[in-house]
Amino acid sequence: MIYILILVLISGLIAYIGDALGTYVGKRRLTVLGLRPRITALVVAISTGILITLLTLGAMTIISEDVRTALFHIDTLRRDIENLHNETRSLAQVKQQLEKEKQELTNDVERLTSTVRIKETGNVVFRKDEPLAVIVVAAQQSASEVMKELTTLIINLTAKVRRRGVNVQDEIDFFTANRDQLNGMAAHIASSTQDMVVGAIAAENINAGEQLGNVRFILLPNNLIFRKNQEIASIQIDGTLNRGEIARNLKRFMDEINQEVVRLGMIANPLTGRFGDLSSDSMLSVYDMVNRIKELNRQFILIAAVPEDTYAIGPLNVTFRFEETGERIFSTQPEQPDDGAAEE
């Protein structure tokens, strides 16, 4: 901007000087190169205009690279513009082709996704990591005795999957295909001093009508996790809250119980990582428990306990009792007489 302003000022100054010089030449009737005074004045005016143009072009050439390009490289610039137009047209054609290919690929992906979804969910009878059969094998048996129990496991497994519409080779072929795993488990169990849980787990989704594929075996000790009447967890419950908040607190408590029993070594369902609803015949439904807590309308301690010795394989039966200042005010487990009273 400053350069343009300077050019305007200089051009105006030159025009003024040229006009003054032409006027002076005309009044004095001066001549140049023998020309008449009027012609001389005209030459001065024309020279002034030429000088202004040359000054402007020179200054703009020095100042602006675009002006230099327009003045001295116009042909190259035209060629470059034409090349850009050609490249633009080529890129537009390439873009159109890529969009067409993209649409075709999108259609292929949708078809494959639909096929996989049908494969995974349409006729699935056993999901990946779902238990197919589970048994407990007692300790202190010979390897041949353990192998008989493992054979029973295989028979139960094949019978179960057949009932669900899955094709399976006969038991002998299935046993032969998994002989190394079964022999290894039999040897380990025979040398163990505690009962072992043996499970057959689906290694992949299995659809009805398909051939039973790979089966994964698990081997875990059936440890005693809880003794009869042992407490699992406890929480302070506020019966003055609304039913929704009470239900959410109960849900968090159930989750804590599940995490605790898994931490202590119970064998969870590999498919869910949980023990179902943690329910038993003596356990109230969550709805009934919420109503019972709301009826009390005060704070107390909710305690979860097991009514019987519970091993790693389960089942996990849970009873609940409400206590206030150490006294029981409600329990989902019926009162049972003491052993001494029963003997009397």
Tens digits of per-residue pLDDT, 117-131? 555 555 788 888 888
Same domain, 171 and 66: no
Rg of the chain, C-alpha, whole Å: 48
Tell me the pLDDT of the chain averaged across its residues. Answer: 78
The total number of structural domains that make up the chain? 4
Distance CA 22, CA 28 (A): 10
Residues 297 and 194 in one domain: no
Mean pLDDT of the 2-29 span: 65
Q: What is the pLDDT at residue 277?
A: 40
Is the pTM higher than 0.85? no
Average pLDDT over residues 196-217: 85
Q: First vs last Cα of the chain: how many Å apart?
A: 115
pLDDT at 21: 65
Parallel, antiparallel or unpaired: strands 224-226 and 299-305? unpaired
Shared-domain flag, residues 205 and 272: no
More confident residue, 1 or 319: 319
pLDDT band of residue 195 (cuts 50, 70, 90) is very high
87 and 64 together in one domain: no
pLDDT in tens, 177-190: 888 888 999 999 99
Show Cβ contacts of residue 149 under 8 Å, excluding neighbours closer than 6 positions. 135, 137, 141, 198
Q: Which domain holds residue 37?
A: 2-72
Q: Residue type for 64, please? A: S
Same domain, 180 and 139: yes
| Judgement on whether residues 131 and 200 belong to the same structural domain of the protein | yes
C-alpha distances out from residue 232 to 161, 259, 261, 323, Å: 36, 11, 8, 15
Give DSSP secondary structure letters for 305-316: E-SS-EETT---
**In this structure, are 156 and 255 located in the same domain?**
no
Q: What's the rounded mean pLDDT across residues 43-49? A: 72
* Omega within 30 of 0 (cis) for the link into 315: yes
251 and 298 fall within a common domain: yes
| d(C-alpha 50, C-alpha 43), whole Å | 10
The C-alpha atoms of residue 307 and residue 315 are separated, in whole angstroms, by 11
Together in a domain, 237 and 338? yes
| Domain match, 6 and 27 both | yes
Residue 142 has pLDDT above 80, yes or no: yes
Residue 171: how many other CB atoms lie within 10 Å = 14
One domain for residues 151 and 245: no
Contacts of 194 (CB under 8 A, 6+ apart): 139, 221, 222, 223
Q: Hey, which of 33-37, 210-214, 234-238 has the most confident mean pLDDT?
A: 234-238
Instruction: Report whether pLDDT(332) > 90.
Output: no
pLDDT band at 236; cut points 50, 70, 90: very high
Burial of 290 (C-beta count, 10 Å sphere; 0-12/13-18/19+): buried
Give the model's confidence band at 107: pLDDT under 50 very low, under 70 low, under 90 confident, else very high: confident
Same domain assignment for residues 250 and 231: yes
User: How many other CB atoms are found less than 10 A from the CB of residue 22?
Assistant: 19
pLDDT grade for 32, boundaries at 50, 70 and 90: low
E strands in 20-139: 124-126, 131-137
Q: Which of 5-14, 89-98, 295-304 has the highest mean pLDDT?
A: 295-304
Q: Report pLDDT for 203.
A: 85
Amino acid residing at 174 = F
* Domain of residue 167, CATH code: 3.30.470
**Chain length of the chain:** 344
**What's the whole-number mean pLDDT along residues 313-337?**
79
DSSP reduced 3-state for 147: helix
305 to 94, 121, 226, 266, 282: CA distances (angstroms) = 71, 38, 9, 15, 12
Pairing of strands 206-207, 231-238: unpaired
Alpha-carbon distance values, 152 to 99, 145, 198 (Å)? 60, 11, 12
